[in-house]
Structure 1
Amino acid sequence: MAMDDRTVASALYRAVAIIDPVLDVLAARDPLGLKARTHRTATADDSVVDKVLGALASALNATDFPGTEAWEKLDSDARSDWWVARIGALNTVAVAFPGVFGVLMNRLPLQDLLGFANQAMVLVAVAREAGVTDRSAHVQLLASALCEREIDPSAPDTPEAEEEPKPERGWGPFALLRAMWDVASVLRDVSSELAKRPHSRAVFRMISAIPLVGGVASYFGERGALSRAAEQGRRWVADHETIPTARLSK
């Protein structure tokens, strides 16, 4: 039975309610003060701790991580690309992992769930870098780019999503992967929509059915699918310049 727009919008709204906070954490948290160090000139402190922290800060800065000095020098397009290349690539490892089991695991919905969740997280990040922070706009974006649906802006009428307790998010790759899993759990309610997202090219899907090498093929296939999803997201944002840019109250 086909799902109505309201059901899809409700699930996507709950997914975005998970995605937004974790992106905020990645962008703003600085528990060791490493991001702040990248904005300061080197000091004469020769302590071992200071040298270690300085080296870690330099390494973080080299990745253009949000909040670092290098990040501040990037324009919006480069920041958008960062989320696809860095965070998307990390999440894709988890998406591709079931492929090492070959066709048996590919028959299960886990890979599509995680793939959809990964693309949703990156699309929201891309939209945010373009100045689109309204949660309803994020729902419309995901519905259009990943579900091939053009939904009404008022469709995600889900006040219960705001009332659900939000778990405290940590900082780092494990928090990101945990958030992707949480998003995938929410999206089980709209499992019939998962097949509509951008998928791996046919050649990668064929190779992914082979045990052991399937994981490698799945990874490169999902990376390509993620890039296409991000491009669809950019086009959607460009075509909807009049959408609100202020985040909804929480």
Structure 2
Amino acid sequence: MADPISDGQVVAVLRPFVRACAPMIDALREADPFGLRGRARKAGGADEFGDDGFKEKVLGALTSVKVPGTAAWAAMDIDQRAGWWVNRVGRLTSVLTSIPGLGGALADRLPVQDTLGAASQGLLLCAIAGEYGVTDVGSRVRLIASVLFDRDITPALAAGKPADESAEDSAAARLTEELTESERAHGKVTVKAVAGTLWRLGRSLWGITEELEKRPRGRFYHRALGMVPVVGAAGDYLGERWGLKRAWKRAHEWLMANSHWASLS
């Protein structure tokens, strides 16, 4: 029987993971799937569009659509922004996580589902923490450890050692190589790059595989459906969505309970 995984091992794995989540979150935040922000910037000159009416329509759309960088986003409160991450971005990560479910029970015997699921949940927890002003690595490590693994990591341990920061930065850079290459080649982050980076983030958690089984997961009927080949992907998707909402509830409780120091981060 393997030795229990220590808090120190969890921290050693999570610190590079959290650092790598930052550029991924930035990429998702800056994504402009409808082209509204770019079109609004161009709308500064009506002649470019032919008439002022079209310009007003573009700016009106920009005002009403709730995505980062819009007036509607600025008017949202913290919980609404956190909900956006869970409900909008969470759908994408749940789809990517559920793809192994096409293999049914065979895929469920492998750690792929839990690694991708834990990576997705950890990524979105970092994004949610950012909306609450919790930006330091140590605090986010504690949040993920508590919500996903039911561990109460001390602030001192989660803060890591200054001597390790260079190695953590290098590890984070390797995890986000596909994002960097996508931006260089296409001027933006592609869905393929997001999927590849999510996979790398998941692989980085293999060092604590036993812990990944503790994360919030779907109900028994989601898992039962997930055992069926092909349609198992649908069961896994629904299970991941349900688990993510549980994770968000736990995260909200944790952030509120620790607001006395989180607000100082």
Which one of the candidate residues 189, 193, 213 is aligned to 2:231?
Answer: 213
Deviations 1:79-133 (A, max 9, x none): 0000000111101001111112211111111010000001001111111111111
Find the aligned partners of 1:33 and 1:221 in 2 and give their Cα distance. Answer: 32
Find the aligned partners of 2:64 and 2:190 in 1 and give their Cα distance. Answer: 16
Which one of the candidate residues 87, 90, 95 is aligned to 1:88?
Answer: 90
Q: Counterpart of 2:254?
A: 236
Secondary structure at 1:138's aligned position in 2? helix
C-alpha change, 1:11 and 1:210, in structure 2 (3 Å) is same
Secondary structure at 1:234's aligned position in 2? helix
Secondary structure at 2:240's aligned position in 1? helix
**TM-score, length of structure 2 as denominator length:** 0.81
Secondary structure at 2:221's aligned position in 1? helix
Q: Counterpart of 1:161?
A: 168
Higher helix share: 2
Find the aligned partners of 1:230 and 1:8 in 2 and give their Cα distance. Answer: 20
Structure 2 counterparts to residues 65-144 of structure 1, below 5 A: 65-144=67-146
2:169 alignment partner AA: E
C-alpha change, 1:34 and 1:190, in structure 2 (3 Å) is same
Q: Counterpart of 1:188?
A: 206
1:27 alignment partner AA: R
Q: Counterpart of 1:198?
A: 216
Structure with more relative contact order (C-alpha pairs < 8 Å, separation 6 or more): 1
Instruction: Structure 2 unaligned segments of length 5 or more: list them.
Output: 184-188
**TM-score, length of structure 1 as denominator length:** 0.85
Q: Counterpart of 2:186?
A: none
The 10-residue stretch of structure 1 (211-220 or 83-92) with the greater mean CA deviation from structure 2: 211-220
Structure 2 counterparts to residues 1-80 of structure 1, below 5 A: 1-28=3-30, 34-35=36-37, 37-38=39-40, 44-45=46-47, 47=49, 63-80=65-82
Instruction: Structure 1 unaligned segments of length 5 or more: list them.
Output: none
The 10-residue stretch of structure 1 (94-103 or 160-169) with the greater mean CA deviation from structure 2: 160-169
C-alpha change, 1:111 and 1:63, in structure 2 (3 Å) is farther
Q: Is contact 2:105-2:229 (8 Å) kept?
A: yes
C-alpha change, 1:43 and 1:30, in structure 2 (3 Å) is same
Once the two structures are TM-superposed, the CA of residue 154 in structure 1 deviates from its matched residue by 2.1
Find the aligned partners of 1:200 and 1:243 in 2 and give their Cα distance. Answer: 32
Q: Percent identity?
A: 33
Once the two structures are TM-superposed, the CA of residue 178 in structure 1 deviates from its matched residue by 2.9
Q: Is contact 1:37-1:54 (8 Å) kept?
A: no
1:93 alignment partner AA: V
Secondary structure at 1:196's aligned position in 2? coil
RMSD: 3.2
Which one of the candidate residues 210, 223, 244 is aligned to 2:241?
Answer: 223
The 10-residue stretch of structure 1 (52-61 or 90-99) with the greater mean CA deviation from structure 2: 52-61
Q: Is contact 2:226-2:232 (8 Å) kept?
A: yes
Q: Is contact 2:16-2:171 (8 Å) kept?
A: no
